[in-house]
Structure 1
Amino acid sequence: MDARCGLVLGGILAALTASGALAAECTSPVKPSDLTKPGTLVMSTNPTLPPLQYVDKTGQLVGMRVELGREIARRLCLTPEYVKIEFPAMIPGLQAGRWDMINTGIFFTPERAKIMQMIPYESQTISIATPLKPKTPVTRIEDLDGRTIGVELGGFEENKAKALNAELKGKGLAGMTIRTFDSYALAYQALRAGQVEAVVSIDGVAKEYADRGEFQRALTGLFPTPVSLAFKNRALADAVLKVLEAMQADGSFAALLGRFGVVPVPGALAVQGPAT
């Protein structure tokens, strides 16, 4: 064997050794049986919530939660895959095994934690968005009396809109007319078209529309509540929790949320869900 052949063979062996070491280094802690698709982390998202999750002008899925999901998949040595779907289908789809993780900013509630494994990780509040120049300004909850408001169907925000309506009626007022939409985008489109007079949404989305100069946040900071990732499988939830804890330790978790103005939940992260 001449020197050149020896160098080539040595290079090949080194490359094989390196790739083998890399594969060994990146072995997923998640069992294939704990995934919808082996080697893949399938996540559902409703990409109508800029800047947290949305489709940009080039058709790419982007946003804070999208980046978080991809980083979780990378650290689990899995390929990220997103299913874009409206919120009302997400919990049934999770229970049916169509995806592994709901990554759409689902609000944590004790009722939901009875049927899913949830990791609360960010804090969100509710805002009331109105046109920049409404016929009558909204400066307090009572100013919503008699108005038609829009809200996304089937979520925490719809429940809180109903709670606000009950509060108004409890004060002897007429209350609001609540119109539900399949997505935030459709609700804000209706506000733009004058079909509703206000929209109830999470504060991050309302702020994005306000920053664009389209609408104003008339009321903010309502109903502060943790937002979660959700899973059917407890083993997968535990693995994701370890990733989030590692991201907290290296500072990347706070850096990612901070870049989008999102506030982490206080205290330690934990999986909350039914016992398995």
Structure 2
Amino acid sequence: MTKVLIIFTDLDGTILDSETYSYQKAVPVINILKENQVPVIPVTSKTRLEVETLRQSLQINDPFIVENGSGIFVPLDYNHLTLPKSNQGAGYHLHRLGCIYSEARQGLEKIATILNQPLRGFGDMSEAEICQLTGLSSQEAKQAKAREFTEPFLTPKKVTPERLNEIVQDLGYRIVVGDRFCHLLDAGAGKGKAVQWLVDSYQSAQPNAKITTLGLGNSPNDLEMLEAVDLPIIVPGNKGIHPGLSGKGWQVAPAPGSQGWAEVVRGVVLRKMGL
């Protein structure tokens, strides 16, 4: 039986260092994975344009999951999956789990009405304002604004996460609550669902293969992805494991960021595939 390893990975604070966003320490391991046709699949809240920039830098051509599991992009020249010809465009097959961006914007307006307070999403902000709030460059802010499925918005003050979740669920959405920003997405979307769809697609393309999935993340936003894989691994921050991921009994990378990512992936690949 053929053994297949698939790696799903968060980006910020995982394969990318949290402060410098460098991935250099992971490059030698990524090259080994490419040489042995092990897919490295980003699973992120970032947009397609943001992920495309990273994929070009890393020279990887595997599928990727964007905007918290709302969209799965598979390059049309990717030969390891057999997908229907529908939903093709811009060089990809798109499998959409979430709503489109205009629907997310409409949802944000409804939430603001129910709360009786204005809510400011990326669609309400200039690139300069996003730069100021996030520390992104002008080009990075432009890419971050290029939403296709979800809407990040400033986390409202004096509203509990429980109340916010109650409202969005009643409207048919879900929310990822952060300290500074929340992300509004369709109730049908999610990192775990997106990972499972891709795994099923790989299995359909290779019905006799034994597929093992590895997932790496650093925050509670990665929880669904980590629960969906065979080998979940937590990448710690500079101050250790995020409290929201503690107590899971999962393997922890030996160092933060790209160094920890590289060391733990190398160990798993060596153990699983003898590379």
TM norm. shorter chain > 0.5? no
- Say which structure is richer in strand: 1
**What TM-score results when the alignment is normalised by the length of structure 1?**
0.32
**What TM-score results when the alignment is normalised by the length of structure 2?**
0.32
